[in-house]
């Protein structure tokens, strides 16, 4: 009766209001869960796992609601403590944020199940800590996506980085060395960001992105503004692991706990790329054309694509190879941003989604291979297709997707990117995409050959990989196909088409 | 009007993949799936024939692949030729595969039949694709699905052949992707059009020349145009039914058909002449015709000789499409079907000989004509046909090609055709002679054919080649379809 009394329109309006108010909870839920879960874990690790999983599930639903509301009613802004933006801290989710937020929440949720399952066996002593760090990482990454404040973004960047250092260190073997190296390089990156921000703050007197975009045109020509941008881009380039600033990534990807890898490999670099997108497109390009800077970035991206692909060729360890492949693939995203027309930017954003799914699928499948044989090198997976046909098929589909075989999703982001490059007459970049795909074929088919054509090493350890480890790989492989076949729906409903962003077209 | 039959023709074999994989342990059930799918596919394709002959183009548009570009299937006369060929030969090849694979107790048969089904699906998709992006989608699907077939034996040599295949096709794939993207940028939303759609694009001749080269490299690898043919002989390590599939049904035919699509339906004869590329492409094709035949002469291994014969014969199709006169285009399109029937016969025979005797070299064939009269008889018919003997299918295509060469004012290519006919005789005649007229005279030879599933398919396809030579419109109406497409492309129809 009560519901009948309220007209339908008002119910919708009320729900929209609720979602607007609840938007910051996208960060607060995992943050709170991170605090609580070690306490719970001390009593019952099982309860803590369910609690963490529940929090991430809730977060995923919330992010979907927020994302839908943004598509329906436009950007959502939330002012902390009721303080209006230039003074207070603002959270804002626009179309691109509405794409990223569910992506982050989805991968956090997806690999949580397999992560806690794998880590329970491998690091029993600090199971609770592992979950806390994992939740903290998702809070940090989500924070980067939703914040509209550049300094707040720095805080979240650090939250996510610090929790990743600790997560990597929880791995086996040389993990601690890798984590320490990552810590040093990551701190340099963070410092760069603060440096750059300092310049910009000194020039404009604001930290809010929208506000800064308004104030920048007056000072855009100054050297301080250029230096500020340069520092920020350099800092993010380290976080994105662009060549030649990628040094930390292969080690970190290799020694990090395998359960966390589907999440880390899918989202970490993408969120940094997203931050770069915000700085470039929401702050600097709104202030004025930055053709030269973009073109320079384009060449950096091209170099990263080629170098990452070439370095991936020589790796025997599949995790390391995938890490170098990521160096190349994140270059695709940056190259799309720098070409800058509607097709290229759409392709770059679409590739953020697609690559997250494909690379995460590779790591999820690899985690299952590893759970079975204890090895993660090319020879270690020999002949596994016979014993694990589904997981091997999932890996193969993801690999073919990254190479860019239609109708898998990687093909379509490549299509948009090349379409953008052709439109901009950027022929060297067109060639770079082609060369990278050929190199991708070489390094991925080594593994596919090993999986399918070689016979298994009889003496190796053989255990049954748990379903919770295999299931995400299968789900993601299905997504690789679905996102490809329905790529137009993805582009129409999920990936915004950013038109007229300027750039050297 | 949305006629979904082209879609069903593509999907039915794709849908068979699941059941085939799941029937791994039950070979009879597994092969039953292949037969059911093959029969259904043939039914769908043939059911389209009356509409196409009546001048219609049944088509269906499905979901969008990119802004303004749908997954678009359309049965036009040229596509019908290829689709009819592929769906007909799939049935025969399935029958043959069963006999061959079980006879040889070949491993990995499930993977073989599954990949085979995907290949045939892609072939039909390529035939019916109405725009470049749809074409590309199926073309690359074919590339991937063929790989498991090439490496079928899992031997060191097979893996090497597979790598070579991947290297050629994936580099080509990048060229094709750029070409397709470029063409959709020049003429947004264009579909294949008899006579080409690029004429109105406003691109400069220099740009169009580069675009054409990208297309021809991208597709020419599969069509084994020299110097892009290196993977084909290396892929000969695969079992014979695979070679038959590669050479006659799907892979190289998809390449040759793709060349026709590019030269006649994207660029068109008049634009090709305008940018001065018709002569260049025709010359490369002519060089491949002669070069392939010369290499075939030098090979003593039967399958490798046949492989180089394929390299040579495929370029007849490219030559006809490049010359661009009505008869040349009709001859080219008809040769897609004619060569399919004849070459598959030859490979079936090679496989038949291998299963019975394990002979692979030509010198070993002495006296085999009396032991395996059906096999060697079929072989002789097909060989004569490929050389262009009247009353056989190869004569019809060559006659039209020669006419077309004269009409287009390039009489020199008639000389190439004649030279090639001599070379064909030169490399086929020794095989036939060795089989029938050499060997010990005194030895009592008895009839010694293999299983009926192995000797019947080549007999059938050889008879079909004969029928097509005497009645070019026999059953499939290949000749009418080819001429309809050619007339439309040159503005005669």
Nearest chain A residue to B207 by CA distance is: A425
Query: Around Cβ B28, how many Cβ atoms within 10 Å?
Result: 8
Tell me the HSE value of A436 on the side-chain side, using a 13 A CA sphere.
Answer: 31
CB-CB under 8 Å, A487 with B181: no
Print the domain residue range for B390: 5-490
Interatomic CA distance for residues B162 and B236, integer angstroms:
10
C-beta neighbour count of B15 within 10 angstroms: 16
**Segments of chain B scoring below 50 in pLDDT:** none
Query: In this prediction, what percent of chain A has a pLDDT beyond 70?
Result: 92
Residues of chain A neighbouring B175 (CB-CB closer than 8 A): 434
Total tally of structural domains belonging to chain B: 1
pLDDT value at residue A275? 92
pLDDT at A134: 87
Distance, in Å, from the CA atom of A167 to the CA atom of A123, rounded to the nearest integer, reads: 11
In a domain, A497, yes or no: yes
pLDDT at A3 over 60: no
Residue A436 lies in a domain: yes
Q: What is the mean pLDDT of residues A153-179?
A: 87
DSSP B364-383: GGTTHHHHSHHHHHHHHHHH
Evaluate if residue A503 carries a pLDDT over 60. no
Question: CA-CA distances (angstroms) from residue A500 to A286, A289, A339, A344, A375?
Answer: 11, 11, 12, 11, 48
Q: What residues pair up with A317 in beta bridges, in sequence order?
A: A377
Asked if A103 and A237 touch (Cβ cutoff 8 Å), the reply is no
Nearest CB to A438; choose among B174, B181, B184: B174
Is B64 at the interface with chain A, CB within 8 A?
Answer: yes
Q: Give the pLDDT confidence of A85-117 residue by residue, as tens digits.
A: 777 888 888 888 888 999 999 999 988 877 766
Which residues in chain B are contacts of A485 at CB distance < 8 A? 63
> With an 8 Å Cβ cutoff, are B140 and A406 in contact?
yes
**Segments in A216-317 forming alpha helices (H):** 223-240, 248-255, 261-277, 285-287, 291-313
Q: Minimal Cα distance from B150: which residue of A?
A: A453
Is there a contact between A400 and B144 if contact means CB atoms under 8 Å apart? yes
pLDDT tens string A318-331 = 999 999 999 999 99
Q: What is the pLDDT of residue A4?
A: 54
Asked if residue A403 belongs to a domain, the reply is yes
Looking at the structure of chain A, the number of domains it has is 1
- By CB atoms closer than 10 A (0-12, 13-18, 19+), residue A7 is exposed
Q: A163-167: long-range contacts (C-beta < 8 A, 24 or more apart)?
A: A163/A133, A163/A134, A163/A136, A163/A137, A164/A137, A164/A252, A164/A264, A164/A268, A166/A129, A166/A133, A167/A130, A167/A133, A167/A134, A167/A137, A167/A256, A167/A257, A167/A260, A167/A264
Cα–Cα separations (whole angstroms), residue B428 to B53, B299, B301, B308, B424: 36, 11, 12, 12, 6
Note whether residue A448 is domain-resident.
Answer: yes
A420 pLDDT higher than 70: yes
Whole-model pTM above 0.95? no
Residue A394, in any domain of the structure: yes
Please state, in angstroms and rounded to a whole number, the distance separating the CA atoms of residues A80 and A90: 6
Tell me, what's the pLDDT at A117? 66
Q: What percent of chain A has pLDDT over 90?
A: 40
* Mutation for A interface: B14, B140, B168, B221, most A CBs within 10 A: B140
Strands A76-79 and A90-93: antiparallel
Residue A288 clears pLDDT 80, i.e. is over it: no
Of B151, B162, B182, the CB nearest to A422: B182
pLDDT of residue B144: 92
| Contact by Cβ (8 Å): B139, B121 | no
B154 touches chain A (CB under 8 A): yes
Indicate if the pLDDT at residue A1 is higher than 50. no
Residue-range definition of the domain harbouring residue A394: 297-505
Of A406, A407, A419, the CB nearest to B181: A419
- Whether residue A352 lies inside any domain: the answer is yes
- Which band of pLDDT confidence, cut at 50, 70 and 90, is reported for residue A193? very high
ipTM, interface predicted TM-score of the complex? 0.91
Measure CB to CB from residue A406 to each of B64, B136, B163 and give the nearest one.
B136
> Largest alpha-carbon pair distance within chain B?
74
**What integer pLDDT is reported at residue B258 of this predicted model?**
95
Contact between chains at B66 and A419 (C-beta distance less than 8 A): yes
Flag whether residue B67 sits within 8 Å of chain A, measured between CB atoms.
yes
* Residue A479: per-residue pLDDT: 93
A8-30 confidence digits (pLDDT tens):
667 778 888 888 888 888 999 99
With H, G, I as helix, E, B as strand and everything else as coil, classify residue A308: helix
Q: Does A326 map to a domain? A: yes
Considering only A30-34, A53-57, A465-469, B175-179, which range has the smallest mean pLDDT? Answer: A465-469
> pLDDT of A352-401, one tens digit each?
999 999 999 999 999 888 888 878 888 888 888 888 888 999 999 999 99
B282-294 burial by CB neighbour count: b if 16+ within 10 A, else e?
A: bbbbbebbbbbbe
B173 touches chain A (CB under 8 A): yes
* Residue A226 neighbours by CB under 8 Å, 6+ apart: none
A71 is a domain residue: no
Chain A interface disruption, residue of B7, B148, B156, B173, most A CBs within 10 A = B173
* CB-nearest partner of A453 from B151, B174, B177: B151
Contact B184 A419 (CB under 8 A): yes
Structure confidence at residue A500 as a pLDDT band (50, 70, 90): very low
Residues of chain A contacting B64 with CB distance shorter than 8 Å: 488
């Amino acid at each position: 009766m009560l519901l009948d009394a309220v007209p339908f329109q008002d119910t919708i309006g009320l729900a929209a209001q609720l979602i607007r108010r609840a938007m910051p909870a996208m960060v607060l839920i995992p943050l709170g869960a991170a605090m609580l879960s070690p306490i719970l874990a001390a009593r019952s690790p099982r309860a803590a796992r369910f609690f963490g999983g529940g929090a991430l599930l809730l977060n995923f639903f919330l992010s979907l609601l927020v994302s839908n509301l943004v598509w329906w009613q436009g950007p959502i802004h939330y002012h902390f403590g009721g303080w209006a933006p230039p003074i207070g801290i603002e959270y804002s989710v626009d179309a691109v944020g509405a794409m990223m937020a569910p992506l982050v929440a989805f991968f956090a949720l997806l690999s949580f199940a397999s992560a806690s399952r794998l880590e329970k066996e491998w690091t029993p002593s600090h199971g609770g800590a592992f979950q806390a760090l994992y939740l903290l990482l998702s809070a940090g990454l989500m924070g980067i996506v939703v914040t509209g404040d550049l300094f707040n973004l720095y805080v979240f960047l650090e939250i996510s980085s610090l929790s990743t250092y600790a997560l990597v260190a929880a791995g086996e073997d040389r993990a601690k060395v890798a984590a320490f190296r990552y810590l040093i390089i990551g701190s340099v990156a963070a410092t760069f960001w603060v440096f750059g921000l300092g310049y910009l703050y000194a020039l404009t007197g604001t930290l809010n992105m929208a506000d800064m975009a308004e104030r920048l045109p007056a000072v855009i020509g100054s050297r301080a503004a250029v230096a500020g941008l340069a520092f920020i881009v350099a800092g993010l380039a380290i976080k994105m692991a662009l060549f030649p600033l990628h040094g930390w990534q292969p080690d970190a990807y290799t020694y990090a706990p395998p359960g966390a890898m589907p999440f880390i490999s899918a989202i970490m670099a993408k969120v940094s790329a997203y931050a770069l997108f915000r700085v470039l497109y929401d702050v600097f390009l709104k202030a004025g054309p930055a053709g030269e800077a973009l073109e320079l970035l384009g060449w950096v991206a091209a170099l990263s694509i080629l170098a990452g692909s070439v370095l991936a060729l020589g790796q025997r360890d599949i995790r390391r190879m995938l890490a170098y492949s990521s160096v190349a693939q994140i270059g695709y995203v940056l190259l799309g941003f720098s070409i800058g027309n509607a097709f290229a930017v759409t392709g770059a954003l679409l590739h953020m989604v697609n690559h997250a799914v494909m690379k995460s699928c590779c790591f999820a499948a690899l985690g299952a291979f590893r759970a079975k044989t204890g090895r993660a090198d090319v020879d270690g997976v020999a002949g596994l297709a016979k014993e694990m046909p589904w997981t091997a098929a999932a890996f193969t589909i993801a690999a073919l997707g990254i190479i860019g075989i239609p109708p898998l999703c990687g093909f379509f982001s490549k299509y948009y990117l090349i379409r953008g490059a052709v439109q901009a007459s950027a022929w060297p970049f067109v060639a770079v995409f082609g060369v990278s795909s050929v190199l991708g074929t070489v390094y991925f088919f080594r593994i596919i050959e090993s999986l399918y054509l070689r016979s298994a090493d009889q003496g190796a350890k053989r255990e049954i990989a748990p379903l919770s480890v295999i299931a995400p790989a299968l789900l993601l492989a299905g997504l690789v196909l679905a996102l490809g076949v329905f790529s137009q729906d993805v582009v129409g409903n999920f990936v915004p088409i950013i038109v007229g962003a300027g750039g050297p077209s | 009007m949305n006629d979904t039959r082209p879609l069903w023709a593509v999907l039915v074999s794709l849908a068979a993949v699941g059941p085939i994989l799941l029937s791994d342990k039950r070979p009879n059930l597994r092969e039953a799936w292949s037969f059911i799918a093959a029969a259904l596919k043939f039914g769908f394709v043939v059911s389209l024939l009356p509409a196409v002959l009546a001048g219609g183009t049944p088509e269906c548009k499905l979901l969008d692949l990119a802004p303004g570009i749908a997954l678009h299937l359309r049965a036009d006369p040229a596509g019908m030729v290829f689709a009819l060929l592929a769906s007909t030969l799939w049935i025969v090849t399935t029958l043959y595969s069963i006999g061959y694979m079980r006879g040889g107790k070949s491993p990995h048969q499930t993977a073989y039949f599954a990949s085979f089904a995907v290949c045939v699906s892609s072939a039909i998709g390529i035939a019916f694709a109405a725009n470049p992006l749809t074409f590309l989608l199926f073309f690359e699907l074919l590339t991937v699905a063929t790989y498991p077939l090439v490496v079928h034996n899992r031997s060191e040599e097979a893996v090497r052949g597979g790598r070579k295949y991947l290297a050629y096709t994936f580099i080509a794939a990048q060229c094709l992707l750029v070409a397709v993207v470029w063409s959709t940028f020049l003429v947004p939303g264009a579909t294949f059009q008899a006579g080409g759609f690029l004429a109105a694009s406003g691109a400069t001749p220099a740009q169009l020349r580069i675009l054409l080269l990208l297309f021809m490299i991208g597709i020419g690898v599969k069509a084994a145009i020299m110097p892009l043919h290196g993977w084909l002989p290396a892929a000969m390590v695969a079992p014979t039914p695979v070679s038959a599939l590669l050479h006659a049904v799907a892979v190289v035919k998809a390449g040759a058909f793709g060349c026709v699509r590019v030269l006649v339906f994207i660029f068109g004869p008049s634009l090709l002449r305008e940018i001065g590329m018709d002569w260049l492409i025709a010359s490369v094709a002519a060089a491949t015709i002669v070069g392939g035949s010369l290499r075939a002469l030098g090979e003593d291994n039967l399958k490798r000789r046949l492989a180089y014969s394929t390299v040579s014969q495929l370029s007849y199709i490219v030559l006809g499409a490049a010359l661009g006169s009505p008869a040349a285009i009709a001859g080219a399109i008809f040769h897609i079907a004619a060569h399919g029937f004849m070459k598959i016969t030859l490979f079936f025979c090679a496989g038949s000989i291998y299963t019975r005797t394990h002979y692979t070299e030509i010198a070993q064939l002495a006296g085999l004509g009396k032991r395996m009269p059906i096999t060697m008889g079929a072989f002789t018919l097909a060989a004569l046909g490929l050389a262009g003997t009247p009353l056989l299918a190869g004569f019809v295509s060559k006659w039209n090609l020669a006419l077309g060469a004269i009409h287009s004012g390039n009489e020199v290519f008639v000389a190439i055709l004649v030279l090639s006919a001599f070379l064909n005789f030169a490399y086929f005649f020794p095989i036939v002679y060795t089989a029938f007229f050499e060997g010990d005279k005194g030895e009592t030879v008895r009839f010694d054919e293999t299983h009926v599933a192995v000797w019947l398919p080549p007999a059938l396809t050889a008879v079909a080649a004969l029928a097509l030579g005497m009645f070019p419109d026999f059953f499939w109406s290949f000749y009418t379809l080819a001429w309809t497409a050619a007339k439309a492309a040159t503005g005669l129809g």
